[in-house]
Amino acid sequence: MSVNIDQSSDQKEMQNTNQPLTHDDIRRFVPSDNCLDGKTILVTGAGDGIGRVAALTYARYGATVLLLGRTSSKLEYVYDEIESLGGKQPAMLPMNLEGATYAEMQQLEGLIDKEIGKLDGILHNAGLLGQLTPLEMYDVDTFAQVMKVNFTSTFMLTQALLPLLKDADNGSIVFTSSTVGTHPRAFWGAYALSKQAVEGMSDIFTQETQNTTNLRFNCINPGGTRTNMRAHAYPGESPMSLKTPEDIMAGYVCLMSDESIGVRGQVVELQPKD
């Protein structure tokens, strides 16, 4: 796997200052080789799309990655990919976020504590598109399913894992939003509403923790990226016109690394329109 992160001398210099990072800095971040060394990072939806590449990239930069997803065979494949790139041994956490209960998430917290002993970050990446249709016609069961996977389970998992995250030196929680989460758009229904809710949750968690903990909560908006979900949403679009998940990894690494300490309550667009 190759991650397209180039390093210019200007960028190296930028990262040696103590100024808070701007969104541009985050997008153009140039990770040092072991910038995630010693960190344990949980990635949801780690079996495919952006989540798979984020998991591989975090491992590439030294993290122990916990792979959470609903399709065990896909997690096994990513597990093997991490081993073959020489990353630290990952862990597989099969979980269908649609049906998962809070008790199961608390058990997961106990398991991570017992088996690994720490958690430094979560990338909440798993997502469902649902229907693209007017709200008037939106199937209510699909609405509940999308809200559960994209929003409610994200809240539940964050809350259940907070005891471990608060024990980390600089815990980082990264939620995944979307352009329609910031600017709701007709026909995007539950998907847009779930992403709006995620942005609100990140803001509230930030306000509630910033004076008492080292935790940071941020949202990332990957922008149009070449994955199955994008192909379903825009069937007429050429995938070759889109960036790949590998192309946008700089921001994902930055928000997990200690270089982004001090970045809180932000919604970072990785592909802003001019």
Closest CB 209 distance from ligand NDP, rounded Å: 23
Closest CB 128 distance from ligand NDP, rounded Å: 5
- The backbone region for 63, taken as left when phi is positive above 0, alpha when psi lies in -120 to 50, beta otherwise, is beta
Q: Which of 42, 43, 48, 269 binds ligand NDP (CB under 6 A)?
A: 48
Give the neighbor-by-neighbor strand order of the sheet with 216-221.
Answer: 91-94, 64-69, 40-44, 121-124, 172-176, 216-221, 267-269
Q: What residues numbered 219-248 form the site for ligand NDP, per CB under 6 A? A: 222, 224-225, 227-230
CA torsion angle 17 64 154 69 (round to 10): 140
Instruction: Note whether 158 and 170 are within 8 A (CB).
Output: no
Q: Which stretch binds ligand NDP (CB under 6 A): 45-53, 55-63, 112-120, 163-171?
A: 45-53
Q: Between 72 and 89, whose beta carbon lies closer to ligand NDP?
A: 72
Q: What are phi and psi of 243, to 5 degrees?
A: -70, 155
Q: What residues numbered 121-160 form the site for ligand NDP, per CB under 6 A? A: 125-128, 149
Q: Which stretch binds ligand NDP (CB under 6 A): 3-11, 30-38, 48-56, 130-138?
A: 48-56
Q: Between 154 and 170, whose beta carbon lies closer to ligand NDP?
A: 154
Q: Which of 57, 170, 176, 260 binds ligand NDP (CB under 6 A)?
A: 176
Q: Which of 76, 98, 113, 247 binds ligand NDP (CB under 6 A)?
A: 98
> Is the Cα dihedral 38, 96, 181, 248 positive or negative?
positive
Q: Which of 39, 70, 216, 264 binds ligand NDP (CB under 6 A)?
A: 70
Is position 191 annotated as part of the catalytic site?
yes
Q: Between 15 and 78, whose beta carbon lies closer to ligand NDP?
A: 78
Which residues touch 156 (CB under 8 Å, ≥6 apart)?
Answer: 100, 102, 105
Q: How many residues does the chain have?
A: 274
- The backbone region for 15, taken as left when phi is positive above 0, alpha when psi lies in -120 to 50, beta otherwise, is alpha
Q: Which of 61, 138, 191, 252 is catalytic?
A: 191
Query: Using the rule CB under 6 A, is 90 a contact of ligand NDP?
Result: no
Residue 149 per-residue DSSP state: I
Question: What residue is closest to ligand NDP based on CB?
Answer: 49
Residue ranges binding ligand NDP (CB under 6 A): 45, 47-51, 69-71, 74, 96-98, 125-128, 149, 176, 178, 222, 224-225, 227-230
Catalytically active residues, by annotation: 191
